[in-house]
Structure 1
Amino acid sequence: MSVLPWTASEGPLPIVAFGNSLGAVQASWGPLLHELGGSRATLTFDLPGHYDESIAPFDFDKMAEDVAQTIRAHSDAPVVLCGVSLGGALAVRVAADHPELACAVVVVNAPVAQPDPALWHARARAIDEHGLEPFAETLHERWFSADAEPSMIEAVRADFRALPAAGYANACRAIADLDIRDAASRVSVPAVIVRAADDIAVAASNSDELATLIPHSHLIHVPGAHLLPAENPRAVIDAIDMAIALIEETS
């Protein structure tokens, strides 16, 4: 297990720990953190494959354990685990496997299981052969609504281009067999599942299924696309506030 590269800010507890989408870095939470304005203590981190070449293969299990280790290193109390896409799947897995680390989860546009593992292995091979640029050019189509702010899209695209290609390819391989259905059924803390109306990267049925699998969950529908924290940060902040209210109701 490893402690991942991290950034923390002070504010009222509980800490909200933010997990990135595949292909995104800590900076993707910038619009949301700006809008929070210090009203919550926060922790962001970069996932394996996103900060170095990570030539050695790793899997989804290691990603989850690294997230758990990072949270454990920075908080003596349970945190709100908030993640988008891959980060949301990791939030579910960590909350299930390490219930002492989580007081609530907020899951945004996350896959329950990969319907086509071969697609991710093919993407990894394409990156090995051609680099990140072909995916960078079409990133806006998969992650954002048509009316998303162009400067925000270009900032996210620049961060994607700066990823280590070999590391990102290994991250694609690592999630090819992702399946959090068992983990979801073991989550014992309040959960808010966020489904963005215009997300084409992860099918809406994933959020619906998560809401049925996680025992204490609430499904909300919001405007926006896949990388919702960058495009519509207020919707994610509202989900976090809802999760914290649920903690207070059950405490």
Structure 2
Amino acid sequence: MNKTMPLVMIHGLFGSQSFYAPNRRIADVDVHTPDLLGYGMLGSTAVEPITLTRQAEHVIRYVRERAGAPCVLLGHSVGGAIAMLAAASAPELVCGVINVEGNFTLEDAFWCRKIANLDAAAWRAEHARLVADPQGWLTNGGIAVTPQRLEWARAVLENQPHQTIQAMALAVVRETGAPGFRSSVRTVVEHGTPLFMLAGERSASGWHAPDWAYAAARSYVIQPEVGHMMMLEEPDEFCRIIAAMVAQIAACPHGGSVSSTAAKSGFMEMKV
């Protein structure tokens, strides 16, 4: 089967996006789930100080060297901010962005601010507690515990060292709070790059995306009966939504009108 344009999925504060095997669930798309700097295998080697800008540069290098271009960038949570920065810096390599409850402002950085405010020893102890109790992590997130979800939660929590998480949290607070951040990510839509937005039904009300993003989005989809970790709760439905968005981008790569497939797919689409 010939696959469509590459889809590069950028994980959030905890990585990666590979745990639920989206490459098998989105069979007709060339799916990539790279680790960011400091995560996974990259977490075992020394890296430069972590910033969102450096992470965006890392994503663009990956696109050039591994994924091919043009590609679709998907960013979840913190990865949403990184995807927007990457697309803003190299619009010629990105034919669309799927922003999944991505950080647009400090208002979306509640957990990052909490982690950033802890001293290193306190965060190390808190991180050890999280890694030792994946069931508690799921329960605190309002996610019903199943053996599969427990296995996935353990993989997500163990994918990166505690130093990486705190460095990323500090970067999110510092950079998304900077005066030029919003204008930088807004250039994505000013370039004409198609923007799609996805939120979980339980967490959508807490997403502080700006009005210009909702207005510019080709579609804003709410996945029913899930929260911020929708891909862990209902990965098949999440992947169906993503596949539909990629298909729309592939069918209209130069920024023309995009038609909705929401009604056929069973999820909710809104234009705000």
**Partner letter of residue 237 of structure 1?**
R
- 2:231 counterpart residue number: 229
- 2:261 counterpart residue number: none
Residue 208 to residue 185, structure 1, CA distance change in 2 (3 Å)? closer
- 2:23 counterpart residue number: 33
- 1:198 counterpart residue number: 202
Distance (Å, rounded) in 1 between the aligned partners of 2:10 and 2:147? 23
- Offset of residue 15 of structure 1: 0.5
- Offset of residue 25 of structure 1: 1.8
**Partner letter of residue 33 of structure 1?**
N
Q: CA deviation digits over 1:196-243, x for unaligned, max 9? A: 1123xx863324646336x34321111211122222222343234224
Task: From 53, 64, 68, give the equivalent of 1:61.
Answer: 53
Residue 173 to residue 126, structure 1, CA distance change in 2 (3 Å)? farther
Contact (CA 8 Å) 1:20, 1:87: kept in 2 or not? yes
- 2:13 counterpart residue number: 22
Residue 212 to residue 14, structure 1, CA distance change in 2 (3 Å)? same
- Offset of residue 146 of structure 1: 3.2
- 2:185 counterpart residue number: 184
Distance (Å, rounded) in 1 between the aligned partners of 2:214 and 2:159? 38
Distance (Å, rounded) in 1 between the aligned partners of 2:51 and 2:74? 21
| TM-score for the superposition, normalised by structure 2 | 0.74
- 1:6 counterpart residue number: none
Residue 105 to residue 209, structure 1, CA distance change in 2 (3 Å)? same
- 1:132 counterpart residue number: 127
SS of residue paired to 2:19: helix
The reply to whether residue 89 of structure 1 matches residue 81 of structure 2 is: yes
| TM-score for the superposition, normalised by structure 1 | 0.80
- Offset of residue 69 of structure 1: 0.9
- Offset of residue 71 of structure 1: 1.0
- Stretch of structure 1 that moved more, 204-213 or 84-93: 204-213
Higher Rg: 2
Task: From 91, 106, 117, give the equivalent of 1:114.
Answer: 106
Task: From 237, 242, 245, give the equivalent of 1:242.
Answer: 245
Distance (Å, rounded) in 2 between the aligned partners of 1:189 and 1:56? 30
- Stretch of structure 1 that moved more, 75-84 or 129-138: 129-138
Q: CA deviation digits over 1:77-111, x for unaligned, max 9? A: 21011121112221111111110111111111112
Residue 162 to residue 189, structure 1, CA distance change in 2 (3 Å)? closer
- Offset of residue 22 of structure 1: 0.9
Give aligned-pair identity as a percent.
19
Contact (CA 8 Å) 2:23, 2:30: kept in 1 or not? no
- 1:146 counterpart residue number: 143
Contact (CA 8 Å) 1:148, 1:231: kept in 2 or not? no
**Partner letter of residue 63 of structure 2?**
I
**Partner letter of residue 23 of structure 2?**
L
Instruction: Give the unaligned 5+ runs of structure 1.
Output: 1-9
SS of residue paired to 1:28: coil
Residue 56 to residue 131, structure 1, CA distance change in 2 (3 Å)? farther
Task: From 162, 166, 169, give the equivalent of 2:166.
Answer: 169
The alignment covers a number of residue pairs equal to 236
Residue 236 to residue 128, structure 1, CA distance change in 2 (3 Å)? same
Residue 97 to residue 141, structure 1, CA distance change in 2 (3 Å)? farther
Contact (CA 8 Å) 2:29, 2:243: kept in 1 or not? no
